[in-house]
Structure 1
Amino acid sequence: MSDAMTGKPALSLGIDIGGTFTDLVLHGPGRERSDTLKVLTTHADPVQGILAGTRRLLEQAGAAPGEVGRVVHATTLFTNALIERKGARTALITTAGFRDLLHIGRERRYELYDLQLRPPEPLVPDRLRFEVPERVKADGTVLVPLDLAELEERAAEAVEMGAESLAILFLHSDLHPQHEAEAVAHLAKHFPELSVTASHGIVREVREYDRGSTATANAYVAPLAERYLARLGSELATLGLQAPLLLMLSNGGLTHVAEARRAPVQLLESGPAAGALAAAFLAGEEEGRLLAFDLGGTTAKLCVVENGEPEVVFGFEAARQARFIEGSGLPIRISTVDLIEIGAGGGSIARRDPIGLLKVGPDSAGSEPGPASYGRGGTQPTVTDANLLLGYLDPASFAGGRLPLDRQAAADAVGRLAASLDISSEAAAWGIHDVATEAMAGAARTHLAERGRDASEFTLVCTGGGGPVHGHHLARKLGIRRMIIPPEAGVASALGMLAAPPRVDKVMSLGQRLDACTASFLASAFGGLEEEARQVLADGGWTGEEVAAGRMVDARCVGQGAHMPVSLPPAPWPMEDEAVRELIRDAFRLAYVARYSRPPPAVPIELVHARVVLRGAKGAAQINAGSGPDATEAAANWRRIVIGGEEHEAAVHRRASLPVGFVATGPALVEEAGSTLVVGPGSRLMVLRSGNILVELN
């Protein structure tokens, strides 16, 4: 892509909105390095922060708005609206007799003996759940025709009660969506201002509760997404950016604005996915197994990366009541990078709990008012305040010098906490750092154990403003011996998503035993899904480029309740029925052995869903954000830091001045605009040719 006026390669602008900071990156193939910027997130109006940051970044880079060829955006705005219950007033219309489906859920307690257990509250309150006469049987037979007059009355009642968005969930619509499609068309004609989500248009999977939860989540954030994306595009245009706006998906791919407006639920995990993608892209091919660790101002994210890509799963739980317990959140059936996220970040607030112990998070000071050291009205001690007092952060150069830190305010906040705990301020600061890091380590242990992985086999890739600060201590807790810190680690998510490919995931229910499936039936199912996916790519302008198509089935042994994803060989397939069946049987056996370490029982196989994944070319073949081989080492400064309760004199290096091949031994600090790397005593750091820093722990 190039600028038609100058003939120069067009620039790419990456924008990642987090809970505390909005990160921006400007990159172009012809530029020696990427220009980056961190600005505080403006929660009342996130677009204002984007606009202010974009103006400043273009000025800093000496670039004209017309030189930008595309804008790539990831945001936590929609998932925050879900968690904080700040979405649209949403109604649900469902099959007669099923209005309590969202409330009943799966009829199981996620903690059997917890007498104060709180089940996840449905996004649609009881008074806004309605029924209409209709019923399609599982075989497609229409038992009760859809009553359009009743549908219209219920929709009018919902609108009168203040609903601005509506979800439609009919029984068996994953297999037979004709009634849902008829309802959408009728409501569009009579209620054009009402946002309507049909469950089959978002996810065509079995299980009404999961499908209904996903559809209502989409309806809940759809009006917000419509307004936000329309305004963002309009405001960027007023700056002179006429480039297409692309959105990061939860699965690590990109989509266009129209698709994002249609199904914004696909963007719920776009921010965390960008961080995992960045780690995979920036760490380098020489590293085999990676544990991506991204720590921002509000949350910490961890993700396993193997074979160069983070694993993608086909569902997650939003707004969990219990952090690590399955079943305590709202099931969302979308394709998403498989990661674990906890409320621990630079803004996490430290406090004394009722029994006198030090606790950190999950509540955060965010950007408004922010940590006490920000000088914006915050008074509670946070992780950032503790890291400042421990000597890890330079108060004058924090966030590139655009947000000087107030050391005295941090000392006062931590001092009050220390007094309540009857310990010294220094001990309280180290305790905050240690407790926060232990929360991250606990999450990592859970994430790895659930996948049967040993942490010592992984290299820790640290990104985000706080990742390099806490990475060394986290690695020691996990028994990890190697760390990779990419250049511009503080804005790695915004940088990495510029390399993301366009991606479309499509799914449909099959509900058939394998021995009853024919080659023509499967070819029709997969072919239809691939055609739908190619149309989404075409609508976004991704035509004429090579597209990789992947096929999968969700399968299980007959009689089992759970199914698992099974990757299948790419097309073309044989056209003989038995040959196709054997192809799927072989793939199922391999997947079963890989998951359960034993062959499957000798029973028939049932195909639950068909899935296709279409991916286009990556957005950037090469990103050079590093210092380059011509950098000249400058003399190090020295600073007193505290590690493990002990004082050390640490060498302080500017990352931009370190040449390739530079080697040093900790204790040391390596500073750049968006983050600081902390290296403990005895550990060794080296600048690689890629620009990455490798840390080998002693």
Structure 2
Amino acid sequence: MGSHHADKGLALTTWAIGIDIGGTFTDVVALDYSEGALHSLKVLTTHGDPAQGVADGVRQLMQTCGIRPGSVARVVHATTLFTNALIERRGSTTGLLTTRGFRDVLEIGHERKYDLYDIHIEPAPALVPRNLRAEIGGRIDGHGQVLESPEAADVRRAVAELVEKGVESIAVCLLHAYAFAGHEQQVRTWIEQDFPHLHVTLSSDVAPVIREFERNSTTVANAYIKPLAKRYLDALEARLIALGLPKGVLLMLSNGGLSHIEEAKRNPIELLESGPAAGAISAAHYSHRDNQSNLMAFDMGGTTAKLCLVEHGKPYIAFGFEAARRKRFAEGSGLPIRITTIDLIEIGAGGGSIAHCDELGLMKVGPHSAGSEPGPACYGLGGEDPTVTDANLVLGYLNPDYFAGGTMTVDRHKARDALSRIGAGMGLGPLDVAWGMHDIVAENMAGAARVHAAERGRDPRDFVLLCTGGGGPLHAYYVAQKIGVGTIICPPAAGVASAYGLLVAPARADRSRTATFRPSSGRLAELEEAFRNLEAQVQDSLASVDATFGPIRLSRHADGRFVGQGFTLSVELPEGPYLADAAGEPAVREALTAAFEFAYREKFGRTPPDVPIELVNLRVTGEAPPRMAFVPKSLEAGQRATPSDMRDVYFREAQGYVKTPVFQRSDLRVGFSAEGPLLVEDTSSTLVVGPKGHVEQLASGNLVITIKEH
């Protein structure tokens, strides 16, 4: 059927399975390469033992689709468990080993307040309290020269004291280790000799870049979640092997690429934005199908909503973000993490988000979520708080008999009762409360979208909104109007798009290091050697997945600045090698300078005159696409679909319920075209098209909604 027959090792493997654990649902997707078909299932996330929910879901889907374990080429997984562990402070007891005199870097930070006028301001508490931080001798200068070597006895004494206090994971972050990693590596050897049970994280492995606070924060966060990650990933792999599935699960990283499970156990910090990244990758994939290169990817699940810009078919990438913020939109209120990540904005608005009244008597929705345990009131699992899912059920957007593809029943009366309780205090009926909640969520998301686009110098009205997740298609119609977007795309199996993104994503590795270089005068041979070393590290990292991914494409990047600036801008550099004879050298220097100046002008409009440029951090990215390409079966043309049902659905434009046709997505054929209002249901989500909308089914499987202003 396609390229996979070219690889003898993959000739009999015709299936791939993707698993995405969210705060409310665990999504499982199976791709049948021989038929070009996608099968999916949603099960409630089992928070006590997440691997159990995964195993149950995979077993169920394999039975339903008749999948033989031997025919599965690969299993790919994304999870938000490690992010939640950071937010909820459920990691391991962690110690920090640092250079003498630098014990308090974690708390000193930048000495900046994230909210100048808040007299009750709370900084993000350090993951490692002061009594679990130890200092050792040894010193390196900023150029990597050894001034003093650490001593084994000093290290052993410090670690023994930490172990006595219950530490099970230790972060080693020595001054200037980005310039010379030898001391940290020696310290690890001594620790492993005497304390083999300890989990050890080195800053030179996790974040070998300048800025002491960020490097400390990233290293400590990795150490904090490492034991939890190892326990979970070991349990997951054992459960999947028990089902007969292949060893070597692949994990989605925050950068939108895949990595082998062993790599993920070493540096679980790279998985923090794992689930949202998968959603962005699936959006980019769907954008290629209909040549829509500029997208605003809107993914709303049960707990959170995410938004990411996709330009020229690629999601924006950032080289750091803040985890576990005290205030959601306040920069500086969280833990700075220096990893490569898809650049997205996240708000606490999902199907499980709870409505409440604030001190002024105004209704707010989120960020607290009912999750899957106990879940929204309509689940009948003990939840009594009114949630967004309850509101959508009362508005008629959800089918109580076909929720999550009919795998669970929901109770409209319980939803209505929960909304009535909060409405009583405000003098509102359940319908007004339901619409208010739906409208607030749309406004929250639209506000985040406007800010996110503006910060990147973009106008959101120039983009097409692509909606995924269980809640994206439910809310996109009103979100789009608030932003000013006129076109919405709803891809096939939108409710499990993140799990699908796992199976079309490339394998990817990113490596970085600090190496200050001026394009105008630095030695090109040294720059080339530094990039070659990083490229070798990337290729080593991707070697374990070479059988199913390839060929590798390498690209070079750098964080640059004009000399004297305190901030850096990440830019893509021209392809190497940067070696040239005396005649060609000026051309290489000019190309490096031009790459930075172009990116700087694009972001800020102009460059300062006569100021030299310096590259501070060097980065290499390696991407390898799946060798087995999934070609979805094209939709057939056919006669006009007929509604499977008529339902009372609330639309603001009509100021009340409207008798609305409900279509089954599986019944739609190419050429289907209809005016709103209407609903389109499938097993994982419901698409709401209001009175101003017109929907059309494309051959790619995408549904396109055009909003007409009357």
TM-score, normalization: structure 1?
A: 0.97
Q: Say yes or no: does 1:696 pair with 2:702.
A: no
Check whether the contact 1:593–1:600 (CA below 8 A) recurs between aligned residues: no
**For the Cα contact (< 8 Å) 2:358–2:364, is it kept in 1?**
yes
> Cα offset for 1:243?
4.7
Task: Determine if contact 2:635/2:699 at 8 Å carries over to the other structure.
Answer: no
- Distance in 1 separating the partners of 2:627 and 2:114: 42
1:286 and 1:139 map into 2 onto residues whose CA distance is: 48
> Gaps spanning 5+ residues in structure 1: where?
none
**CA distances 1:492-536 after superposition (whole Å, capped 9, x unpaired):** 110122010110101010023334421210110000000011011
Matched, 1:599 2:607: yes
Distance change in 2, residues 1:113/1:5 (3 Å)? closer
Structure 1 residues 6 and 329, CA gap change in structure 2 (3 angstroms) = closer
Amino acid paired to 1:57: L
1:159 corresponds to 2:163: yes
Tell me what 2:650 maps to.
642
CA contact (8 A) 1:203 1:214 kept: yes
- Per-residue deviation, 1:682: 2.5
1:108 Cα offset (Å): 0.6
Residue 188 of structure 1 aligns with which residue?
192
The residue that corresponds to 1:317 in the other structure is 322
Instruction: Indicate how the Cα distance of structure 1 residues 371 and 617 shifts in structure 2: closer, same or farther if over 3 A, else same.
Output: same
Aligned to 2:126: 122
Counterpart mapping for 1:562-601 below 5 A: 562-576=567-581, 577-601=585-609
Note the C-alpha offset of 1:630.
Answer: 5.5
* Alignment counterpart, residue 263 of structure 1, candidates 250, 261, 267: 267
CA contact (8 A) 2:528 2:577 kept: no
Secondary structure in 1 matching 2:163: helix
SS at match of 1:34: strand
Q: List per-residue Cα deviations over 1:184-228 (Å, max 9, x = no partner).
A: 111111111100001010111100110110000110111111111
Q: Secondary structure at the match of 1:22?
A: strand
CA displacement 1:120-142 (0-9 Å, x = unmatched): 11111111111111111112332
Please show how residues 510-521 of structure 1 align to structure 2 within 5 Å: 510-521=515-526
How far off is 1:543 after superposition? 8.2
Residue number in structure 2 paired with 1:216? 220
Task: Please say if residues 248 and 255 of structure 1, whose CA atoms lie closer than 8 Å, have aligned partners that are also in contact.
Answer: yes
Alignment-derived partner of residue 663 in structure 1: 673
Aligned to 1:608: 616
Aligned to 1:508, which of 510, 513, 526? 513
Aligned residues: 698
1 CA distance for matches of 2:634 and 2:284?
16
- Work out whether residues 297 and 466 of structure 1, in 8 Å CA contact, stay in contact via their aligned partners in 2: yes
Show structure 1 runs of 4+ deviating over 6 A: 2-6
Contact in 2 for aligned 1:18/1:271 (Cα 8 Å): yes
CA shift for structure 1 position 579: 3.6
2:101 is paired with a residue whose SS is coil
RMSD between aligned alpha carbons?
1.7
CA distance in 1, matches of 2:68, 2:212: 51
CA contact (8 A) 2:456 2:603 kept: no
Does the residue aligned with 2:391 lie in a helix, a strand or coil? helix
Counting only pairs closer than 5 Å after superposition, residues 94-105 of structure 1 correspond to structure 2 as 94-105=98-109
- Mapped to 1, the partners of 2:639 and 2:96 lie a distance apart of 60
| C-alpha distance in structure 2 between counterparts of 1:543 and 1:76, whole Å | 25
Residue equivalent to 1:249: 253
1:286 to 275, 286, 291: 291
Higher mean displacement: 203-212 or 586-595:
586-595
1:393-542 correspondence runs (5 A): 393-542=398-547
Q: Distance in 1 between matches of 2:145 and 2:636?
A: 67
In the TM superposition, residue 64 of structure 1 has moved relative to its aligned partner by: 1.4
CA drift of 1:151 comes to 1.0
> 8 Å contact 1:520–1:575 — kept in the other structure?
no
Q: Is the 8 A contact 2:21 2:27 kept in 1?
A: yes
- Taking the TM superposition and a 5 Å limit, the aligned residue runs for 1:37-436 are 37-283=41-287, 284-436=289-441
Shift of 1:597: 0.6
Q: Give me the whole-angstrom Cα distance separating, in 1, the residues matched to 2:604 and 2:136.
A: 44
**5+ residue gaps, structure 2:** none
**8 Å contact 1:299–1:342 — kept in the other structure?**
yes
What letter matches 2:360 in structure 1? I
Paired residues of 1:174 and 1:508 also in contact (CA < 8 A): yes
User: How many Å separate the matches in 2 of 1:4 and 1:139?
Assistant: 50
On the 8 A contact 1:9/1:30 being kept in 2, the answer is: no
Amino acid across the alignment from 1:429: A
Q: What is the rounded CA distance, in whole Å, between the counterparts of 2:327 and 2:530 in structure 1?
A: 38
Question: Within 1, Cα distance between the matches of 2:548 and 2:521?
Answer: 37
1:12-45 CA-to-partner distances (Å, cap 9, x unmatched) read 0000000000001000221242110000000010
> What's the counterpart of residue 31 of structure 1?
35
Q: Is the contact between residue 237 and residue 247 of structure 2 (CA under 8 Å) also seen in structure 1? A: no
SS at the partner of 2:37? coil
Q: Give the aligned residue type for 1:474.
A: V
Distance 2:341 2:333 in 1: 18
How far did 1:619 drift?
5.9
Could you tell me how far 1:253 is from its partner in structure 2? 0.4
Hey, what's the Cα distance between the residues in 1 that align with 2:657 and 2:31? Answer: 40
